[in-house]
Chain A
Amino acid sequence: MDHQSLTPTPIATKPYWTPGVAALALLALNGIGFLAARLLFGIGSVTNLSNQHPWGIWIGVDVAGGVALAAGGFTTAALGHVMHREKYHALVRPALLTAMLGYTFVAFGVCMDVGRWYYIWHPIFMWNGSSALFEVGICVTIYLNVLYIEFLPVVAERFIGRVDLPGPLARLNGPLDRGLRALDRGLSSTMFVFIIAGVVLSTLHQSSLGTLMVIAGPKMHPLWQTPILPLLFLLSAIAVGLPMVIFESLLAARSLGLKPEMPLLSDLGRMTAPLIGIYLAFKIGDMVVRETFVHLTVLDSASVMFMLEIGILMLALRMLLSPGVLKSPLLLFIAAALVVAGVLVNRIDNFVIAFTPPYQFKPYRPSFGEISVTVGFISLLVLLYRAAVMIFPVISLPDRTRAPRNKYAVRG
Chain B
Amino acid sequence: MKELNRREFLTSALALGSVAALSPEARAMREETLSPDRMGVLVDTTVCIGCRGCEWACKKAHALPTPPLESYEDKSVFKAMRRPDETALTVVNRYDNPKDPAAPYTVKVQCMHCEHPACVSACIVGALKKQETGAVVWDTNKCIGCRYCMVACPFQIPAFEYQKALQPRIMKCDFCADRRAAGGLPACVEQCPVEALTYGRRDDLVRAARERVKASPQRYVDHVYGELEVGGTSWLYLAGMEFTELQFPKLGRSPAPGVSESIQHGVFAYFVPPVALYALLGMVMWTSKGPPKDDDES
Contact = CB atoms under 8 A, between A and B. Distances in A.
A207 B277 CA distance: 14
A398 interface: no
B144 A214 contact: no
27 contacts: A43-B162, A44-B163, A50-B162, A54-B150, A54-B160, A83-B285, A110-B146, A114-B147, A115-B143, A115-B144, A115-B161, A116-B145, A123-B124, A128-B2, A129-B8, A133-B146, A134-B124, A195-B285, A207-B14, A211-B264, A218-B251, A230-B13, A231-B19, A361-B83, A410-B285, A410-B286, A410-B289
B10 A135 contact: yes
B137 to A, nearest CB: 15
A86 B297 contact: yes
Given A42-B164, A122-B124, A211-B263, 8 more contacts: A41-B163, A42-B163, A87-B295, A115-B164, A135-B10, A204-B14, A211-B13, A230-B263
Contact of A207 (B13, B143, B151, B259): B13
A4 B151 CA distance: 51
Interface stretch (A326-334, A335-343, A351-359): A351-359
Contacts of A230: 13, 15-16, 19, 263
A141 B282 CA distance: 22
A78 interface: yes
Given A84-B288, A86-B296, A359 B142 contact: no
B58 interface: no
B132 interface: no
Interface stretch (B115-123, B182-190, B232-240): B115-123
A214 B145 contact: no
| Most chain A CB inside 10 Å of its own CB: which residue of B1, B150, B249 | B150
B70 to A, nearest CB: 28
A131 B168 contact: no
A61 B145 CA distance: 19
A127 B4 CA distance: 7
A192 B283 CA distance: 12
Interface string A177-220: 00000000000000010011101100111111001111111110
B20 interface: yes
Contact of A116 (B12, B144, B277): B144
Given A123-B124, A125-B1, A207-B14, A200 B281 contact: yes
Contact of B278 (A110, A116, A139, A197): A197
Contacts of A137: 124
Interface string B9-35: 111111111011010000010100000
Given A214-B260, A231-B16, A115 B160 contact: yes
Interface residues of B, number: 81
Contacts of B265: 129-130
Contacts of A52: 156
Given A87-B295, A123-B144, A51 B259 contact: no
Contacts of B41: none
A213 B8 CA distance: 19
Interface in A131-185: 131-135, 137-139
Contacts of A40: 165
Contacts of A134: 124-125
B274 A129 contact: no
B111 interface: no
B7 A129 contact: yes
A131 B296 CA distance: 43
A82 interface: yes
B4 A129 contact: yes
Contact of B163 (A45, A84, A138, A359): A45
B85 interface: yes
Interface string B244-277: 0001011100001101110111000000001001
A51 B86 contact: yes
A386 interface: no
B71 interface: no
Given A51-B83, A200-B281, A119 B122 contact: no
A283 interface: no
A49 interface: yes
Contacts of B124: 122-123, 128, 131, 133-134, 137
A386 B150 CA distance: 39
Contacts of A110: 146
A403 B289 CA distance: 19
A39 interface: yes
